[in-house]
Structure 1
Amino acid sequence: MTTSPESPADRGGRTGTTGGAQTPVRAVACPTCGRTNRVPAAADGSPRCGNCATPLPWIAEAGDADFGKVAEQASLPVLVDLWATWCGPCRMVSPALEQVARDLAGRLKLVKVDIDKSPALARRFEVQAVPTLLILDHGRQVARQTGAAPANALRRWVDESLSASHGPADPATRRP
């Protein structure tokens, strides 16, 4: 899967809008059929491929101005990555977090927050070290972890956090 932020030029000069505000959009290749889909940072529901309806990984960036709309109002549980560009462990854990988002497509949203660009969020969540990871469920923090970990450990932490907050991550199979 390939995700990359789109510029207005990539979208024919248009910026996605939700309620009059500009919403960044990422191009996401469907893991099943390969078709490229536009996935906004904030929307109702969860993204699905327009061609085959497969759930798509939802990875977005947010800052002080749009965190509420992108993360706290999300209909899915949100894994928040509070990171910094100068942080080596942050750069190392990013691919593992994206893998967790791909594994839990349709059941989890990954929101990345650069704390240097979003000092109000860093203060609000009392970030003392990066990376700091949070699980939000309808805007309520249900879990917190500091430091980098491999993808399998992160997945286990996410599954346990989601199970503890409201049951299994995958209600159809009753398994996380």
Structure 2
Amino acid sequence: MTTTTDTLHIVCPHCHTTNRVRSDQLGSAPDCGSCHQPLFGGRSVALDAQGFDRHLQRSQIPLLVDFWAPWCGPCRQMAPGYEQAAAQLEPHMRVAKVDTEAVPELGARYNIRSIPTLALFKGGREVARQAGAMGAADIVRWARQASLG
């Protein structure tokens, strides 16, 4: 018998529809009930302000966000490692990127002063932040540790 605590709300990275997924089926490659695309692709998802708010407010898994900009050398240097980390962190965490040049209001809202900056959100609020470029193993270690707190 499934109880409400066994079901998680997961926002689709493609159409941003909120889906209900049983927690024991997260690793079974669930698809979106609306657009039928995979809910997890093992890579980061680029978010605009509306998509960010939807994932932040509706998803019941942690949201890891890389605040970056295309002109930033350390951001570009960290990008491959961030994608490797996404493959390891999903499906227990949504891994996203926010381009602070394209979506400056999110950088301002969260007082992002240096990039790249990783921020981890749980339950709709920021719980941890780390500035500076990191490799994949360090990103995974930091995100997992921060999500436990």
Check whether TM > 0.5.
yes
Cα distance in 1 between the residues matched to 2:124 and 2:57: 4
CA contact (8 A) 2:66 2:117 kept: yes
| Residue matched to 2:110 | 125
The sequence identity of aligned pairs, in percent, is: 31
Write the letter of the residue equivalent to 2:78.
V
Aligned residues: 125
| Residue matched to 1:80 | 65
Cα distance in 2 between the residues matched to 1:59 and 1:71: 15
| Secondary structure of the corresponding residue to residue 102 of structure 1 | helix
User: Could you give the per-residue CA deviations for residues 20-49 of structure 1, whole angstroms, max 9, x where no partner exists?
Assistant: xxx863xxxxxxxxxxxxxx5554246815
Q: 2:55 aligns with which of 47, 70, 91?
A: 70
Q: Please identify, of 66-75 and 96-105, the stretch whose mean Cα deviation from structure 2 is larger.
A: 66-75
Cα distance in 1 between the residues matched to 2:65 and 2:99: 11
Structure 1, unpaired ranges of 5+: 1-22, 26-39, 165-176
Q: What are the equivalent positions in structure 2 for 1:84-123 lying under 5 Å apart?
A: 84-123=69-108
| Larger RCO (alpha carbons 8 Å, 6+ apart) | 2
| Secondary structure of the corresponding residue to residue 44 of structure 2 | strand
1:142 aligns with 2:123: no
Higher share in helix = 2
Write the letter of the residue equivalent to 1:147.
G
TM-score (norm 1): 0.63
Compare CA radii of gyration and give the structure with the larger one. Answer: 1
TM-score (norm 2): 0.73
Cα distance in 2 between the residues matched to 1:101 and 1:67: 17
Q: Compute the RMSD of aligned alpha carbons.
A: 2.4
What is the Cα deviation at residue 64 of structure 1? 2.1
| Residue matched to 1:163 | 148
